[in-house]
Each structure stands twice: as C-alpha cells, then as structure tokens.
C-alpha cells in the first residue's frame, strides 16, 4: 500500500511548506497560560501530542511522554516507538484514520497555529561535540591561517576532527546573543588586550541528536551509528574569530565558541530524511577499517544563510550550499567519537562543522565569504560587512526537495546584541 501523500490540513499540501505530511518533525511549544509540551509541525499548525495522548490516540508505549518540556523521555523509548508513533501520526493527519479529523472538539484542542505558540529548546542536551568535517572549509581556513600550499594538516584526511563544546550555552532559534569579550592578540603587539570581539562570525552547520545511548567502553560502528540518531537540526555555531585565533593553540576553541550555539526548534527525524540519503563522498586515502562504511550516509539538504542588519527591510542571502558536500559523514563522526570508549547519551548534540561548497557563494562563514574581512560582502541595502555588527540578525534555513514536497527544518535565527 502506498503511504498517503497529503493531509486534510490544507497548509501542509502547498509544495513549499517545510512541514508537509512527509516530515512531521518534533518540537516543544507552549501557549499563554499553559506549560510546554511536545508537538509536531504540520503545515502552519502544531499538533499537540499531549492532547492526542490524553485522548488515547497515540501508541501506548509512548504514554505520558508528551506532557514534557523536552523530547528526551520520548526519544529514550527507542526506534520502534518512534516508528510506531510516526505511522500513527501519518494515519491521523492524512485522514486514513478519521479520529482526529472528524472530532471538532479534539481538533480545536490539539491544533495550535504556529503564530500563537512559543517554541522552546527541544532537547535537554547533556553533551555537545562540534566537528570540522567540510574539506572545503578546512582548506579555506588552512590557506588563510597556515600554509596556502599545505592547507590541511596531516591528520585531517585520516580522522573526523572535533572538540567537546559547551552544552550549557546551546539556545533555541530566536534567542539573542551578546557579543563576547575575551583576549585578542593584535598584530605587532607583544601582549594581548581584553576587548569585545571584533571579528564576530556565524558558522552554517547541521547537527544530529543522539537517540540511543552507548555504554562506556563500547564503540559504535559506522553500520550501527544510524540506529543511534533520532534526528537533525539546523545549527549556527557562532564564532569569535579573533579570540579563537589567539586561544586555540594548543587545545582548540574555548571562549571563542562557548558564548552561544543556536539550533532550530524542530527536530527532523531520520525516518523523514531517509528518502534523501545519497552516496558517500569519495575519500582518499581510504579511511582505517573502523571508519569505512557500506551504507549511504550522506544527505541531500539544500542550505541557505541570510543576513539582516537592524532596520533593514529584508534579509540578504549571502550563502547557498548543500550538506551532501561534507567529507566526513555523521556515521563516521559517531564511530570516531566512540572508538576510544567514550559513551554517548540520549539528547547529545553533534555539530557537523561549517558546511562550505566549492564556489565563493557557497562558503558557510563570514571568514571565508570575506577572506577574513578583506573583501566585504555587499547587502541588498547597500551596506557592507566584513564580519557581523551589533544589531545584525543571521537566518539559516534548509530543506530536502522531494517530488512535489519539501522536508524542511524551518529556520534558525539569532540577533547580535552589544557586548556587556
């Protein structure tokens, strides 16, 4: 039997919405006077899963997990419950099962316009790891800051480089962030100065949410890695380039990254992304055995970044690229992360690293787009930017293009406030 392709909710069927029946991403929302609970995005509506659960319309295995301020309890139930819930929601929203469609009182209770809801951080994140998996990005940065003829360090083509980030400062889209302060080493000065960041940047990334824990001491193979992934989010790993350049030797980023990481409020499940798997990128040299993969682990996700100065009438698109360009896949990232015996927990966030393509308009950071500020980008209002200014908003979006529909992530947006 062919799965239903349309919903009785008209806004889910226009071909442009990020949230058609084929998507059904999970998030946490609230409306005035009510506590946060779990919902699913469908067209321009949010389906209140706690209300459906109370009505007895969702799988018994998930009972009681949706009247919660995070997705963690539901995610921890495992892949079979995720699949059963998705199947049930598809039936209810397609009308194959009319229990919701034909119950006016339940519809009024369970369907909330997105415009009337506040969206919250969807997951309690125990740990956050950020990778560095775009060959183009790593090459561009290496050319600027190291040796133009040997941009990649010898280990880059052998292991998915990453570092443990700061989970406490991961925030949901729409949360403004203050420009960070820190130490900056100016050219020709003997000692650093304490200053507000002068080279504030964004990083276009995707992130995946761990859906299945692993035990301490037990590695996860590339073949098993997808079973440990619940879904994906858009991610902006804001970066203070001048603070980073001074502090990152020898142990990597610290204050330059820890001041804020923004994620989109909707978690798109790996089941929804399954039709958009693509062949893995060619890798040379061939990775060591534990990093080799037989399955397709790349995903075709079109991505875009816009920048809107304060007071500007509209944002200006400054980057278009695609997630399938990443050299190291998510499966390889998780396999490398755990090969030492490091365990992962439900809700852990794994960032891809900046996603850059091969053309100048596909670079996923201001650092690359402007060649470290030397060649500013011109925006639609005529203003120019080498790096981000106070009042600037950065908006990222992404989607997978199906036949007549899109599986999208919505947006992740954030505004820069002055340093404190």
**Which of 18, 137, 336, 337 does the annotation list as catalytic?**
137
Pick from 87, 29, 92, 32: nearest CA to 62: 87
Question: How far from chain centre, in Å, is Cα 22?
Answer: 19
Contacts of 63 (CB under 8 A, 6+ apart): 53
- Please list the residues that pair with 163 across neighbouring strands: 130
Cis omega (within 30 of 0) for bond into 119: no
Helices and strands, number each (H, E), in the chain: 10, 26
Contacts of 409 (CB under 8 A, 6+ apart): 18, 25, 232, 233, 234, 264, 266, 268, 301, 397, 398, 399
Q: How far separated are the first and last CA of the chain, in Å rounded?
A: 59
Measured distance CA(238)–CA(185) in Å, rounded: 20
Concatenating the DSSP letter of every residue in 46-63 gives EEEHHHHHHTT-S-GGGT
Per residue in 20-36, is it b (16+ CB within 10 Å) or e — as a string? bbbbbbbbbbbeeeeeb
Q: Is 358 exposed, middle or buried (0-12, 13-18, 19+ CB in 10 A)?
A: exposed
Measured distance CA(33)–CA(370) in Å, rounded: 46
Measured distance CA(86)–CA(93) in Å, rounded: 10
**Are residues 365 and 354 in contact, defined by beta-carbon separation less than 8 angstroms?**
yes
Measured distance CA(412)–CA(236) in Å, rounded: 7
137 is known as an active-site residue: yes
Residues that are catalytic: 137
């Amino acid at each position: 039997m062919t799965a239903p392709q349309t919903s009785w909710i008209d806004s889910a069927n226009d071909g442009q919405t990020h949230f058609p029946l084929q998507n059904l991403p999970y998030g946490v929302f609230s409306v005035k006077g009510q506590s946060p609970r779990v919902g699913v995005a469908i067209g321009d509506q949010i389906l209140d899963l706690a209300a459906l659960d109370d009505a007895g319309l969702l799988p018994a295995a998930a009972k009681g997990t949706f009247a919660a301020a995070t997705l963690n309890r539901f995610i921890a139930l495992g892949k079979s419950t995720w699949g059963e819930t998705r199947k049930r929601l598809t039936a209810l929203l397609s009308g194959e099962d009319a229990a919701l469609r034909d119950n006016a009182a339940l519809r009024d209770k369970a369907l909330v316009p997105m415009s009337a809801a506040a969206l919250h951080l969807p997951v309690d994140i125990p740990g956050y790891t950020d990778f560095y998996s775009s060959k183009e990005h790593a090459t561009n940065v290496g050319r600027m800051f190291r040796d133009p003829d040997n941009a990649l360090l010898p280990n880059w083509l052998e292991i998915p480089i990453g570092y443990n980030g700061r989970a406490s400062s991961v925030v949901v889209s729409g949360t403004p962030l203050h420009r960070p302060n820190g130490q900056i080493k100016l050219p020709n000065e003997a000692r650093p100065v304490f200053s507000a960041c002068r080279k504030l940047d964004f990083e276009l990334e995707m992130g995946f949410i761990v859906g299945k824990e692993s035990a301490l001491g037990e590695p996860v193979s590339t073949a098993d890695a997808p079973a440990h992934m619940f879904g994906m989010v858009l991610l902006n790993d804001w970066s203070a380039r001048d603070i980073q350049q001074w502090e990152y030797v020898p142990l990597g980023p610290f204050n330059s990254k820890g001041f804020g990481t923004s994620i989109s409020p909707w978690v798109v499940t790996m089941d929804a992304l399954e039709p958009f798997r693509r062949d893995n990128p060619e890798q040379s040299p061939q990775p060591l055995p534990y990093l080799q993969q037989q399955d397709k682990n790349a995903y075709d996700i079109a991505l875009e970044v816009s920048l809107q100065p304060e007071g500007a009438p509209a944002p200006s698109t400054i980057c278009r690229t695609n997630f399938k360009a990443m050299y190291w896949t998510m499966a390889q990232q998780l396999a490398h992360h755990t090969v030492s015996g490091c365990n992962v927990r439900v809700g852990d966030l794994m960032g891809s690293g900046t996603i850059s393509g091969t053309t100048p308009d596909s670079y996923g950071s201001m650092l690359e787009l402007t060649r470290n500020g030397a060649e500013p980008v011109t925006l639609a209002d005529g203003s120019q930017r080498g790096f981000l200014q106070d009042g600037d908003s950065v908006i990222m979006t992404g989607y997978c293009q199906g036949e007549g529909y899109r599986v999208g992530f919505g947006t992740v947006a954030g505004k820069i406030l002055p340093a404190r």
